[in-house]
A and B are shown apart, each in its own frame.
Chain A
Amino acid sequence: MDVQLSVLKYNPETDKEPHFEDFTVEADPMERLLDCLHKIKWQHDSGLALRRSCAHGICGSDAMVINGVNMLACKVLVKDLKQPIQVEPIRGFPVLRDLIVDMEPFFAGYLAVKPWLITDDRQHDPERERIQSPEERERFDDTTKCILCAACTTSCPIFWADKEYVGPAAIVNAHRFIFDSRDDGGAERLEILSSRSGVFKCRTAFNCTAACPRGIKVTQAIQEVKRAALFDSL
């Protein structure tokens, strides 16, 4: 079938402003939007710039605004999209070219919450693994799924308005450690997240949860971190 697409393009070397360009490609309804973007790139417009790698929703490279909604281009099929399919870069970060945005601020927000296990190793027997019950492991399972695609953060209206806000993805990754029974850094992270740029900026718009391609209950995770910051001594 013929598939109509309208892609927001911007090359800083030749364009003053971003502008939409229309393309028509031949595709099977079961093909991914990413396949259509590749057809544009390989058959019509070799300069089209986008990030992609695994092409099956695991690497987190190709989050885009697709018909107004944040999705991974490799995880949505042509048959499920209304045409013409409108494709834009994710919002809230500077556009570098076409569908590529500057991801440095996103990773800076992620690193700000110290996303690594913090432990006092003297408490543990170094010969074997730490013991963690299946229930304790289950407690943070959902937030281990995060692939850092930024679909959640760049769908958040609070983040659009206030770039100081660390955003949902950073909180999800803080949650992954705060609720890990092996971690001793919860208080440290909660202090960071209690600051002006932290978790209390969230106004539960639920955009993040809707946007997550991994099905993480992002808003719920944020609420759990808020509660921990308010009530738990951890």
Chain B
Amino acid sequence: MAALESGKRVRTAVVSKLYPTRSHTGAAQGGMCAALANVEDDSWEWHAFDTVKGSDFLADQDAVDVMCKEAVDSVLQLERMGLPFNRTPEGKIDQRRFGGHTRNHGEAPVKRACYAADRTGHMILQTLYQQCNKFGVEFYNEFFVLDLIMGDDVCSGIIAYEIATGELHVFHAKSVLFATGGYGKMFKITSNAHTLTGDGPGVVYRKGLPLEDMEFFQFHPTGLYRLGILLSEAARGEGAILRNADGERFMERYAPTIKDLAPRDMVSRAEFFEIKEGRGAGPDKDYILLDLTDVDPEVVETKLPDITEFARTYLGVDPLKEGVPIVPTAHYAMGGIPTNVDAEVLRDHTGAIVPGFYAAGECACVSVHGANRLGTNSLLDIVVFGRRGGVAMAEYASTNPLPDIPDDVHVHTEEWLRSLTEGESEESPHEIHTILQDEMMDKASVLRTEESLLDVLETIGKLRERYGRARVKDRSKVFNTELVEHIELGYLIDMAEALVVSARARTESRGGHYREDHQLREDDHWLKHSFISKAATGETVLNYKDVTLGRYEPVERKY
């Protein structure tokens, strides 16, 4: 979206680790919320209220207003670009229910999610790629960004590794926007693609710039058992029910009003508690059942075809006949590169910016999702803030000179790559990655304590040392994917450290961050965003920035 908006205004290139249509936006299923009121009465203020409440009051309310107000135009803009939304009988964009989205401040679920079957993200990705080609955006596919060029604290380009040839390239640019996605691959069970390793935030963190709200990571309640592959919340939007081993609809106990459509953090936590208290299903009592058998089979086949196929293909379970085994799956990073509402990257917790540098989407933190993102708001976030960032970066590029960069700007990166491919080592990066994923899942996922976090932090320290000794065995230039994975693992270790340090410091429970040893939300002390950065000495430094409140005063979150 950013490339499209920027490309309409100034010469723009997309530098992408993957072919653009391989990006994980394409895996988003359920929809994109906007108060179109095509099916039921709705207003953007209600959407804003739900987003703020869903965020456990950590979202900045001025930014939420921007997103929810611009949601309507964003959906209409996508439709005009050709996005094939499902339609109402009258031919308008159809809408359906989604977790945490309600009518009139929590009265009842509302039909707000605009969708294209259960492949809304796929259609957004395809449509934006098509439009970028139409408008002549240039693409550098399978180029891996390794560094940000910063002179005089102004961003002036990037350094990227061409995976097909092993060559380094300097992209000298007036403005740069990161849209690199999340870092769910630090957890054992995740809905994230193999390639989601926090590369963008990793580059930023190594530059000594801060990352915001890293302790908040969302676990989606319905990942396929053992695999983590996502089954959309749209299933519950269409009437599916979560059941424990006794067949009980347990969400009635946790969220009496909206039950299975409670926000994801609450449902995932409820599932963890059910399993912990011995009511999990299956021989090992370690999963929950998603029951679609009471949903009209026609609706399942036509509105949820992909997730039905996932259950059949990967678990051999037919959702029309039996419950689908599911568990919470690491899904979405609420934290990331701090930005303002124009996607300008913040230098620090005071709000100062890095001129010429922008970020949008999951890698960024505006913050519109606070401590817990509502379903569909990620697609909305990428479109709204992608567009704003694209406009802003083009405007900046049109009105500022191209900064000079030194001739040897790539040397540091070149030496780093050489060091990874020199000498021999018995260390196994795969083993390091596996230990990281197991430990993060056990000790820093849905339930956390001081003890578990301290424990995993020590492990991360040891893994970092081992990683420092590990070397890439493959010395080829052409498609050295071992080197790519090796670099990705380094970013994951950094992201895990930032997450755990931020989580240890926050001695309260809020949204996706739940401390068994501090179970209450403490607004007096913790109504603030964390900013973690890394000093040159390797020490982590935490600062805080107050939440921007607005119409909605924090109250206890009940559904």
Mutual binders A and B: yes
Interface positions of A (Cβ within 8 A of B):
11-14, 30, 32, 41-43, 46-47, 49-61, 75, 77, 96-98, 100, 103, 107, 111, 114-117, 119, 121, 124, 126-134, 136-137, 140-141, 144-148, 177, 180, 182-183
Q: Which residues of A contact B26 (CB under 8 A)?
A: 54, 58-59, 147
Main secondary structure, interface of B, reads loop
* Complex A-B: 20 CB contacts under 8 Å: A11-B478, A12-B478, A13-B476, A13-B477, A49-B481, A50-B481, A52-B194, A56-B227, A56-B310, A114-B134, A116-B130, A126-B80, A129-B75, A130-B80, A131-B90, A131-B92, A134-B88, A136-B87, A145-B119, A148-B21
Complex-state Cα separation, A136 to B88, whole angstroms: 12
* Besides the known contacts A53-B193, A103-B19, A132-B87, 19 further A-B residue pairs in the complex with CB atoms under 8 A apart: A14-B476, A32-B314, A41-B482, A54-B22, A54-B24, A55-B193, A56-B310, A57-B313, A59-B23, A59-B24, A59-B26, A96-B478, A97-B476, A97-B479, A115-B130, A129-B85, A134-B91, A144-B84, A147-B26
In the complex, the answer to whether B76 meets A42 with C-beta atoms within 8 Å is: no
CA distance A144 to B86 in the complex (A): 12
Smallest distance from the beta carbon of A216 to chain B beta carbons, Å? Answer: 12
- Whole-angstrom distance between the alpha carbons of A14 and B164 in the complex? 16
Asked whether any CB of chain A lies closer than 8 Å to the CB of B123, the reply is yes
B478, chain A: closest CB distance, angstroms: 5
Measured between beta carbons, the chain A residues less than 8 angstroms from B474 are 46-47
Report chain A residues within 8 Å CB of B84: 137, 140-141, 144, 180
CA distance A43 to B434 in the complex (A): 13
Give bound CA distance, A133 to B84, whole Å. Answer: 11
**Interface-centre pick from A41, A50, A183 (highest chain B CB count, 10 A):** A41
- Minimal Cβ-Cβ distance residue in B for A54: B193
> Are A97 and B79 CB-contacts (below 8 A) given A53-B22, A147-B26?
no
- Could you tell me if A182 and B473 are in contact, using CB atoms closer than 8 angstroms? no
Q: Which residue of A lies closest to B78 (CB)?
A: A129
Contact, CB under 8 Å: B481 / A59 = no
Q: Which residues of B contact A14 (CB under 8 A)?
A: 476
Cβ 8 A contact of B194, one of A53, A75, A100, A119: A53
A77-B227 Cα distance, complex, nearest whole Å: 13
B86-115: which residues lie under 8 A (CB-CB) from chain A? Answer: 86-93
**Distance of A114 Cα from B131 Cα, bound (Å):** 10
Decide: A46 and B476 in contact? CB cutoff 8 A.
no
Complex partner residue of A111 from B133, B164, B229, CB under 8 angstroms:
B133
Q: Tell me, rounded to whole Å, the shortest Cβ–Cβ distance linking A19 to chain B.
A: 16
A61's nearest neighbour on chain B, judged by CB, is B22
Number of A-B contacts (CB under 8 A): 152
**A133 and B87 contact, Cβ closer than 8 Å, known pairs A53-B195, A97-B478, A97-B479:** yes
Inter-subunit contact B24/A116 (CB<8 Å):
no
Q: Which of A59, A136, A180 has its CB near the most chain B CB atoms (within 10 A)? A: A59
Q: How far is the CB of B113 from chain A (nearest CB, A)?
A: 15
* Cα-based distance from A177 to B92 in the complex (angstroms): 19
Known: A50-B481, A96-B479, A144-B123. A131 touches B91 (CB 8 A): yes
Per the bound structure, the CA–CA distance linking A131 and B122 in Å amounts to 22
Q: Number of B residues contacting the other chain (C-beta, 8 Å)?
A: 57
Q: Cβ of A96 and Cβ of B314 under 8 Å apart?
A: no
B interface residues, Cβ below 8 angstroms from A: 18-19, 21-24, 26-27, 75-76, 79-82, 84-93, 116-117, 119, 122-123, 126, 130-131, 133-134, 164, 193-195, 227, 229, 306, 310, 313-316, 430, 472-474, 476-482
B194 close to A30 (CB less than 8 A): no
Chain B residues with CB under 8 Å of A61's CB are 18-19, 22
Bound CA–CA A141/B116 (angstroms)? 9
Residue in B19, B27, B92, B119 whose beta carbon sits within 8 Å of that of A129 in the complex: B92
The interface residues of chain A lying within 8 Å CB-to-CB of B22 are 51, 53-54, 59-61
User: Are B87 and A134 in contact, CB atoms less than 8 angstroms apart?
Assistant: yes
Q: A42-B430, A52-B194 are in contact. Are A117 and B86 (CB under 8 A)?
A: no
In the complex, the chain B residue whose C-beta lies closest to that of A146 is: B126
Query: B472 — which chain A residues lie within 8 A by C-beta?
Result: 46
- Which residue in chain A gives the minimum CB-CB distance to B130? A116
A43, A60, A183: which contacts B21 (Cβ < 8 A)?
A60
**A56 and B18 contacting across the interface, CB-CB below 8 Å:** no
Given contacts A42-B430, A133-B91, A144-B116, contact A180 B473 (CB under 8 A): no
Q: Which residues of the partner chain B approach A136 to less than 8 Å between Cβ atoms?
A: 87, 91
Determine which of A12, A96, A107, A137 lies in contact with B86 in the assembled complex, contact meaning CB atoms within 8 Å.
A137
Nearest CB to that of A47 among chain B residues? B474
- Closest residue of A by beta carbon distance from B224: A56
Q: Which residues of A contact B119 (CB under 8 A)?
A: 58, 144-145
Nearest Cβ distance between residue A220 and chain B, in whole angstroms? Answer: 18
Contacts A49-B481, A53-B18 given; indicate if A116 touches B134 (C-beta within 8 A).
yes
Closest A-chain residue to B72, C-beta based?
A128
Q: From B26, B91, B92, B117, name the one whose CB has the most chain A CB atoms within 10 angstroms.
A: B91
Q: Is the CB of B82 within 8 A of A180?
A: yes
Complex: A117 Cα to B129 Cα, angstroms = 12
- Assess whether B122 is in contact with A47, with CB atoms less than 8 Å apart: no
**B87 neighbours in A (Cβ, 8 Å):** 132-134, 136-137
CB neighbours of A180 from chain B (8 A): 82, 84
Pairwise interchain contact A55-B82, C-beta atoms closer than 8 A: no
Which residues of the other chain, A, contact B75 by a CB distance below 8 angstroms? 129
A126 CB contacts on chain B under 8 angstroms: 80
Q: How far is the CB of B28 from the nearest CB of chain A, in Å?
A: 10
In the complex, what residues of A have CB within 8 A of residue B90's CB? 131
CA gap between A137 and B302 in the complex, in Å: 13
> What residue of chain A has the Cβ atom nearest to residue B431's Cβ?
A42
